[in-house]
């Protein structure tokens, strides 16, 4: 990969998030020149903790600022865009749907419009999510299924996903879409998510909290495997215009109930704590997991880290960070 990435100007939105915090230093290792758009100062984020923020070209501003986006894409002569910025918390979207729609939908079309108007040959990889499918009658979900989000977060991802494809089909933009399983790894600061929340509770000697009845089914993806998928897709998209408008599921294809996942974490941490099952979840999809066959066949992507190894690395990160 390094030959492809060497010297390439790459705009990364959402660099202070979980995935951005791991993807950006990898770009630097490969010789790329990341340009990071940051709205907020987050001292605890991985981008800052690693010192990566001091090695990138930093643009302060909001994804909703169309003039700033156009200036950034143009003046930094961006060769490739990886769009990760979003409001990613399902509960937050339920409480404040308008802000979620602004960030996830308007932010996406404004970025695509900036590329279209200033550097229309620039490939753009856009982060959608498994939630974009909504609830489907058949499992696992594959890319042939319609996008049918019903709840606010899911709808925001369905819309952003469709808009991204529209820019490929209508304007010839070289866009591609990722739909990942639930990402996890060190540096996730959203402790209401089940993996970091469970780990943090155990480290504090407290019972982990499960908001649902524990029987919701999801699949999961360790962050470093997600990074490899994004970089591989970006490279393939740059070489093959035929991938424009295509979407790819990225997943371990190992669906688990929430209770089963928590049990794995407790076992790895040597904890006898019993989870507190609150059964408070509502307006969420009960069973959802993905087929990654298309990514295997067209991209040659394979995960390099097992689920259990990913959990072990994540636990080690939080032990060091929280101790």
> Which residues belong to the active site?
153
Q: 22 near 47, Cβ under 8 Å?
A: no
Measured CA to CA, the distance from residue 269 to residue 293 in angstroms comes to 32
Expressed in percent and rounded to 5, the helix, strand and coil fractions of the chain are: 45, 15, 40
CB atoms < 10 A from the CB of 71, how many? 15
Decide: helix, strand or coil at residue 1.
coil
Alpha helices for the chain (secondary structure H): 2-5, 18-29, 46-49, 66-75, 90-95, 97-101, 107-118, 152-171, 194-203, 223-239, 258-268, 293-294, 307-322
Q: 78 near 27, Cβ under 8 Å?
A: no
Decide: helix, strand or coil at residue 234.
helix
Q: 233 near 176, Cβ under 8 Å?
A: yes
* The two structure tokens encoding residue 42: 């987050």
């Amino acid at each position: 990969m390094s030959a492809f990435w060497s010297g390439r100007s790459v705009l990364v939105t959402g660099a202070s998030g979980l995935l951005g915090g791991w993807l950006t230093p990898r770009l630097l290792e490969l010789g790329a020149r990341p340009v990071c758009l940051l709205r907020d100062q987050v001292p605890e984020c991985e981008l800052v903790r690693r010192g990566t923020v001091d090695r990138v070209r930093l643009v302060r501003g909001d994804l909703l600022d169309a003039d700033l986006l156009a200036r950034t894409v143009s003046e930094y002569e961006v060769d490739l865009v990886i769009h990760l910025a979003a409001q990613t918390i399902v509960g937050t979207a339920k409480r404040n749907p308008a802000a979620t729609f602004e960030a996830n939908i308007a932010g996406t079309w404004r970025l695509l419009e900036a590329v279209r108007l200033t550097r229309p040959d620039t490939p753009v990889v856009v982060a959608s999510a498994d939630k974009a499918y909504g609830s489907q009658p058949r499992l696992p979900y594959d890319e042939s299924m319609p996008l049918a989000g019903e709840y606010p977060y899911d709808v925001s991802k369905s819309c952003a996903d469709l808009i991204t494809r529209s820019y490929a089909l209508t304007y010839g933009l070289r866009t591609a879409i990722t739909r990942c399983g639930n990402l996890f790894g060190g540096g996730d600061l959203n402790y209401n998510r089940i993996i970091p929340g469970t780990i943090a509770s155990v480290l504090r000697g407290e019972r982990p909290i499960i908001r649902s009845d524990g029987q919701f089914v999801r699949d999961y993806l360790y962050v470093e495997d997600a990074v490899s998928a994004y970089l591989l897709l970006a490279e393939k998209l740059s070489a093959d215009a035929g991938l424009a408008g295509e979407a790819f599921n990225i997943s371990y294809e190992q669906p688990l109930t929430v209770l089963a996942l928590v049990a794995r974490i407790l076992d790895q941490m040597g904890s006898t704590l019993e989870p507190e099952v609150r059964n408070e979840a509502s307006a969420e999809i009960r069973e959802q997991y993905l087929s990654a066959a298309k990514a295997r066949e067209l991209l040659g992507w394979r995960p390099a880290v097992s689920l259990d190894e990913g959990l072990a690395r994540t636990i080690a990160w939080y032990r060091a960070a929280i101790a």
